[in-house]
Chain A
Amino acid sequence: MSLSLLTLLHRSLLHRQSRARNAWIALTVSAAISTALLTLYNGLDAKLHHEFRTFGANVLVTLSSKEKPVILSEAKDPLHSNAASQKLSEKERLVIPTERSDEGSLRAQQNSESMGLLLSTIREAAGPNTQAVPFAYAVGSTASHQPIVIAGTDIPAARQLNSWWQVSAWPQNENEILVGTRALPQLAATNNETTLTYGNHTQTFQIAGTIHTGGAEDSRVYLPLAAFTAFTGAPASIIEIQIPGSAKQVNGALDRIRQQLPPNAEAHPIRQLVEGETRIVDRTRALMFGSLILISLMVAVSVLATLSASVLERRRDFAVLKALGSSQAKLQSLFLLEALSLSLAGVVSGFILGSIAAIAIGKINFGAPIFPTPAILPPVAALNLFVATVAALLPLRVLRKLQPAALLKGD
């Protein structure tokens, strides 16, 4: 008998094409579904945390307005600067200015410069994809002497942060303002113009559009920050920060931000958002994990049954080889080699198909593809090779006990 193992393998795969094809399809399906589900499971965290950004800021920094923000470029390590010792003193409550301060536009200019520094320091400390938007508030009055909250912010940044803001038209230039839907009737606007008074300072503004949120914003008017500071002389008092990630990541970033903050600033998380996000992401992950295990195992067992049945049906091949003098070891390696080569082919095609499925699902559901990482290849291959190995060896143990002569005579 001069047939080598490889020749036998080659002939077996070639002459029993439909059987080999069935086995290959089964193994491909098994590899594809585990690739797709593992990829989705791995990418889920990032995708879901991205979705939770629609809730807006999850950390607030409040600046007490008695002091202007400290310029941090000279005091990179505030823990060891003199300022730090003051930080521990009792925090001043947020003071809401109602009177225009006497200091002129020079002060406003300094404020906006140090605010810019503070914002970039926060973004640097918190990590990539962090959004930080300054807000300033003051209580002024309308033309009919009704008190009204005047807010100042970086409007393009706020638009990006607060996706739920329903705005009829965004301001295009510095003198245009947004008016809350509840505030609009109180403003007695004519020709889209309205006057606001702050202290003894009265100014006319162009109304660009209305803002509607169902929250406190509806009762306010929003000015671009520069126009707000020029009008009121007050600096930003709150920085809204959006840090993507789990509670642990947010708290880590929060600690880093706190180390960089000037002594008159206090950072705290919005607990409702940070905790809720973590809980929901965790539950969704658990659900995906359950589905991953369930589907991968069910399909694997089904494939295992199919493959071992197909090996079991080859008792005649087995008997012929045995009658011709093949050892059990040689038979085992033949069947094993056949199963493993099919399985490898299955992993390759399954990985490709599964990746396509994961990319498509990511694209359809999250608007951005989820790409597979090489790290998921080992578990996918291991599961598939394991299934193929068991499917090849299990029936052989059954056949081993049978006599070749009896097998050759028929069923």
Chain B
Amino acid sequence: MFLRLLAESFLRQKRRRLLAGLAILLGATAITTMLALGTSIGDKINRELNSNYGANIIVYPKADTLDIDIAGVNIKPATSGSYLREQDLPKLKEIFWRNNITAISPELPLTVTANNRQLTATGLWFHHTIQSGTDTFTTGAPAVHPWWKLTGTWPNDNATNEAAAGAKLPFHTGDSITIDNVPIHITGTVTTGDDTDTQLLIPLALAQQLNNTPSAVRRVYLSALTKPEDAFARRNPNSLSPKDHDRWYCSPYANSIAFQVDEAIPAAHAEQIRRVAQSEGQILSRISGLMWLVTIASLIAASFAVSSAMATALLERRREIGLMRSLGASQTTIASLVFLETSILALATGTIGWALGSLLAARIAIQIFGSQIPFNAVLLPVVLALSLLVAIAGSIPSVRFALRLDPAATLREDA
């Protein structure tokens, strides 16, 4: 009898079920979309910051002398100080957070004479491929400096007769010049908006050859996806308990990535570039914080909208409830019938809402960030639980009200 009532209720009162169903569907769709965006927005913005601001970690030789660097012009003699070894660099892609390192750019600056003019040349990777285990990773200076604009092509990393010229130098694509008596072909010009505009960019191998320092690298810039720094990140890893140390080590803080680089290359010292790392962290936590608060506000609004729809849908069932009571149904039976109905409805429409919301979130992410967000199956139970909770909570006042009324009065429609 109970089951028949349940089935009949869905079959015969389609229009009324439609209202409650539509409300839950819309609520679940909106909430799924917001949650899907909210959970992935941190990663999206992090990547966006990472690809806009470039390096946030610098690696230099532990035993290095001071940089004599003013406004991007390094006047330290190229021969002084110590170097990193180029063949150590693939170790950067073997550390625990290797997949968070999105770009690597080694540099070897030196002073050269190009066409009788003294200027700075920097040895760089352009599209260099690193082999670590079975993985290959192609990276270089353009990936770490996304704001560099190139006309022409980058030099070939293996070529010893190619270079790119800063836009403020009197060299043009196609020119042939001599650098320290080596004939060089200009493959492209670069504008950077900073002092690199007055430099020659040459393949690292050529710089090492001109400098007579095989496999030497002055410093390495890393772009890494990091987690905003908190109080825990600033702790000294050596003073942590083993458990905390593991947690610190396995969190992608700029500090812990730098720590792992130090471990991988003992002669090197890595540290976060605070201007980039700190500012990125702050922007990231502000934007994801905003998104979370907006999601919570939307959740509350959607809950109220669904609750009031449920209340309205039930308000109109007073006559039905009155009839059932006058036919001898107990209050418990009626309440269970209503709540069971509501639950079935909430689960069914919640699932559809979840599917629609996931699609919508994916569309929005592609529209705004130009890339997919990961499909998040964990959201299904969350959204279903929320739908159930909100739908039942919205029904309770109306059911209590209907049960309190005198059945005879409701049947006469005086109430």
A contact residues vs B (CB 8 Å cutoff): 18-19, 22-23, 25-26, 29-30, 32-33, 36-37, 40, 44, 47-48, 51-52, 54-56, 60, 62, 93-94, 96, 137, 139, 146-149, 162-166, 182-183, 186, 212-216, 219, 237-238, 268-273, 275-276, 279-280, 283-284, 286-288, 290-291, 294-295, 298-299, 301-303, 305-306, 309-310, 313, 316, 357, 361, 364-366
Contact = CB atoms under 8 A, between A and B. Distances in A.
B312 A22 contact: yes
B78 interface: no
A2 B70 CA distance: 91
Given A299-B30, A306-B23, A306-B309, A32 B73 contact: no
Interface residues of B, number: 76
Nearest to B413: A316
Contacts of B29: 298
Interface in B363-382: 364, 367-369
23 contacts: A18-B401, A47-B286, A48-B286, A52-B283, A139-B68, A147-B68, A147-B76, A164-B275, A164-B278, A212-B274, A238-B71, A272-B53, A273-B53, A276-B52, A279-B48, A279-B52, A280-B48, A287-B37, A288-B294, A290-B368, A291-B291, A298-B305, A310-B316
B294 A40 contact: yes
A22 B16 CA distance: 16
Interface stretch (B88-96, B179-187, B296-304): B296-304
Given A149-B69, A286-B367, A287-B368, 11 more contacts: A26-B308, A55-B275, A56-B279, A137-B70, A164-B274, A186-B66, A215-B58, A219-B68, A283-B45, A283-B48, A303-B308
Interface string B143-159: 00101000000000000
A363 to B, nearest CB: 10
Interface string B302-323: 1011101101110110000000
Contact of A284 (B45, B271, B306, B367): B45
B290 A40 contact: yes
B360 A294 contact: yes
B109 interface: no
A271 B194 contact: yes
A43 B272 CA distance: 32
B23 A302 contact: yes
A270 B66 contact: no
Contacts of B297: 33, 36-37, 357, 361
Contact of B305 (A29, A47, A275, A286): A29
Contacts of A18: 311, 315, 401
Given A214-B274, A302-B309, A51 B286 contact: yes
Given A48-B286, A56-B275, A219 B69 contact: yes
Contacts of B385: none
